[in-house]
Structure 1
Amino acid sequence: MCFLDVVSINQVDPDLTEQGVYGIGGFLSVARELRILWSVPYMSRLWCIFELAAYRRANPTGKITMSPLFVEAVVFCMWASISGVAALVLLSQVLSLLSAAGPILFVVFAVAMMPLSVGVNLLRRTLYSKRLLLEELAAFDLQHARCRLDADRQFVHQAIEGWYGSMEAFTEYVRGPLQQELLHSSSNFTVPSQYYPLIVLPYVAGSLDEVVGLCSGGAPWTILLSHVFAHTIGMSTWIITGLEVTAYLSYRWAPARHSPAWKIIQSVLTFLAAALTMAMGATLSLASLRRGLAQSVAYCLISLTITSCVLRVYRLRPEESFWKCCQKQQHPSVG
């Protein structure tokens, strides 16, 4: 069962609204989890803060899960980029049959990477929301939370003071224990691993279409398996690695305090990192495919290992480094 405040509490009748607000503690006390669908204005809304404070007071052992909405936006940027790349790669293969000239293939590959460059720019803008989330937690101040009615503001402030002793104590709770709890839930801030099959689906579909074509043409089973291991699975893992590196760099360079020229340079460098990663994977994939089934299987296993390591390394490092930075700012050393 789900309690969604906007539909579970009457938003029109003041009397029913008051009854719903005063009864929210009963719902929160029996809820196993409080899931926050976070967007940029969340920490500035006093009623949202009230629900957060009430849940932890009524349910000290309950789970608070932050589900930022930017994660799905990041997934869409990645999926759209790979869809564009897959379509243009298919075009490049058609042109390669018409002409074996190296310059033409180089131009086609460069054009195929253009959707990725657009995706990088959108990704950097989207991940700026992630930076804002961490900054909001580090610099939270209850006094700055907005509320439409003064009576509601007074009610919420009195409730929080009664639960936590003072508004300052609640502010310290959000900046300290709550922030640590949320930052150490890596799945809240990164693209969930189960999304990656969806992201690489356009490429996998195109690769399997080639397998069907080879099968229809009477290719030996060793060629078919080599194509699946080297081209379908192996190259897919390199795409995931490239996207993870892109997301990592996009997040690290997300702050908007830099000049426009430096932002462009950062986007170009991020794009080049992703393009070079995928190009290296494609080169190794083609070389393995040409050498036979054994090399294709070996390439596939090595690629899976590399991608697994990259996913593990890049999951929490940005949040942990930012957390340490916030701790230094809040508790500067005396010397």
Structure 2
Amino acid sequence: MICAVVALLLCRAGMLPLYIGQRMARFWCSTAGMVGYYLTLLLWHRKKRAFLDIACIHQTDPVLKAEGLISMGAFLKNSESFLVLWDTTYISRLWCMFEMAAFLHNMGLGTHRDKFLVVCPVFVGPAFLLGQLGLNVVVLAFLVFVEIPFFPWAAVFISGLTFPCFTLLTDLMLAHCRSIDTVQNQVRRFAIEDSLCYCCSCGHVDKRTGVEMNCDRKPILHCITAWFGSVEHFETVVRGKVLTALVHQLANNVFSYQRLVYALCPVIWLYMDLMTSAPDWEVVVELSLSACSYYLMVLPSLALLVLRLAYRLRKVAFPGWCCNLLLSTGLVAVGATAFAICFSVSAILAGLSNRHFQSHIPANAAVLAVTTVVALLLWRCLPVDAISTPD
């Protein structure tokens, strides 16, 4: 974002050319934003400390490993938050389930668990990255065709680029929503004797060295008894309160507002590119108000509505991938229709504002105010998705 802002200021100061040949160069902010975003993603190192068990507990020395396992309670008690990199095998791993249950047991399983428990499926990073790459392509295409009439040809071209990308992402969201039911069924049947340890899965022999490994199950059971009193109580906690926290995270917080705003960065870069050639500061203000409306309010709220609708339709399954793809297409069509309605209303208000006030600022300010209220109501008051009843 900083790189895009710098590019905007340089363009407004005349230090970057607005024309290359006879063609307007409306790409500086998007290009700078993309370069800065991906360089930060690859090179930035967070200074926040993290405890990763496989890296922090000795894996070859049996004495040090046993001491690390026994000391796990101290590590959990001194941790401020717990990040779960979720995949379908997580529930089957005894050590992982103990860590999450013990952390929640220590921190409390009340209404504020979202502050310290974060469940992030492993597909989320690649999905957001691919989605943003697709959005970058669309933004650059829009900037290329911005000088031709938006309707019909530019709209058709941009829709042709965005619709397949959004359909695939929606299909991925549907698959995630359906997997939540599978997770619930697995956790409801959770039993320690069915859980796996890495040492047991490889026959207590290190595959790389051939050296015999000590079994982790005994120290884990010792920790479980120390924390929960008994194995039975631990299983009850996992099937009850841990299940509630886990499903709440997977159903409601995977596609959070913050993550959606990060993924939608190309939208604000697009508005910055349009500001580079704005004839006066009044147009800059108009574009700024519109950018806030669509980037921060409209698009995240539409994504939330499509996500909630996808969760409601997760049990609708059709034979064959074509029918399921049609369902994903229908969800995208719902979002696109809602966006078109919002865009049309904004255009009508802009026309009325220009007629009465000779400016689009009042209309854009009104749209921002209304969309802010609607977004707050949706993100704060829309009922969250909860545990479903067993089939």
1:248 corresponds to 2:316: no
Residue aligning to 2:75:
27
- Structure 2, gaps ≥5 residues long: 1-48, 201-214, 355-359
Distance 2:260 2:230 in 1: 45
- How far apart are residue 30 of structure 1 and its match? 3.9
Q: CA RMSD in A?
A: 3.3
Q: Where in structure 2 are the equivalents of 1:93-108 lying within 5 Å?
A: 93-96=146-149, 102-108=151-157
Q: Is this contact kept in 2: 1:66–1:188, CA < 8 A?
A: no
- How far apart are residue 132 of structure 1 and its match? 4.4
- Superposition TM-score, scaled by structure 1 size: 0.77
Q: Given residue 37 of structure 1, which amino acid in structure 2 is its aligned partner?
A: L
Residue aligning to 1:333:
none
Q: Given residue 179 of structure 1, which amino acid in structure 2 is its aligned partner?
A: L
Distance 1:281 1:15 in 2: 64
- How far apart are residue 248 of structure 1 and its match? 2.4
Q: Given residue 36 of structure 1, which amino acid in structure 2 is its aligned partner?
A: V
In structure 2, do the counterparts of structure 1 residues 60 and 246 end up closer, same or farther at CA, with 3 Å as the change threshold? closer
Q: Is this contact kept in 1: 2:119–2:250, CA < 8 A?
A: no
- The DSSP-based 3-state class of the residue aligned with 1:27 is helix
In structure 2, do the counterparts of structure 1 residues 136 and 107 end up closer, same or farther at CA, with 3 Å as the change threshold? same
Deviations 1:270-324 (A, max 9, x none): 110121122223223333333332122111211222222222345x522x2xx2x
- Structure 1, gaps ≥5 residues long: 331-335
In structure 2, do the counterparts of structure 1 residues 56 and 208 end up closer, same or farther at CA, with 3 Å as the change threshold? closer
Deviations 1:10-42 (A, max 9, x none): 112223222222232333344444443333211
Residue aligning to 1:228:
288
Residue aligning to 1:4:
52
Q: Where in structure 2 are the equivalents of 1:284-323 lying within 5 Å?
A: 284-290=345-351, 291=354, 292-314=360-382, 317-318=384-385, 320=386, 323=387
Deviations 1:106-151 (A, max 9, x none): 5235324333233323433455555544444444333321124454
Distance 1:77 1:256 in 2: 26
1:145 corresponds to 2:195: yes
Residue aligning to 1:110:
159
- How far apart are residue 81 of structure 1 and its match? 4.4
In structure 2, do the counterparts of structure 1 residues 158 and 23 end up closer, same or farther at CA, with 3 Å as the change threshold? closer
Q: Is this contact kept in 1: 2:174–2:310, CA < 8 A?
A: yes
Q: Is this contact kept in 2: 1:81–1:119, CA < 8 A?
A: no
In structure 2, do the counterparts of structure 1 residues 126 and 85 end up closer, same or farther at CA, with 3 Å as the change threshold? farther
The number of residues matched between the two structures is: 313
- How far apart are residue 173 of structure 1 and its match? 0.9
Q: Given residue 24 of structure 1, which amino acid in structure 2 is its aligned partner?
A: M
- Superposition TM-score, scaled by structure 2 size: 0.67
Deviations 1:176-204 (A, max 9, x none): 12233455669972433333432222111
Q: From the two aligned structures, give the one with the greater helix fraction.
A: 1
1:272 corresponds to 2:333: yes
Residue aligning to 2:278:
214
State which drifts further: 273-282 or 45-54: 45-54
- How far apart are residue 254 of structure 1 and its match? 4.1
Residue aligning to 2:237:
173
- How far apart are residue 44 of structure 1 and its match? 0.8
Q: Given residue 140 of structure 1, which amino acid in structure 2 is its aligned partner?
A: F
Deviations 1:229-249 (A, max 9, x none): 23x222323222222223223
Structure showing greater relative contact order (alpha-carbon pairs closer than 8 Å, 6 or more residues apart): 2
Q: Is this contact kept in 2: 1:211–1:227, CA < 8 A?
A: yes
Distance 1:197 1:247 in 2: 15
- The DSSP-based 3-state class of the residue aligned with 1:259 is coil
Distance 2:141 2:379 in 1: 27
In structure 2, do the counterparts of structure 1 residues 149 and 286 end up closer, same or farther at CA, with 3 Å as the change threshold? same
- The DSSP-based 3-state class of the residue aligned with 1:36 is strand
Identity %: 20
State which drifts further: 268-277 or 75-84: 75-84
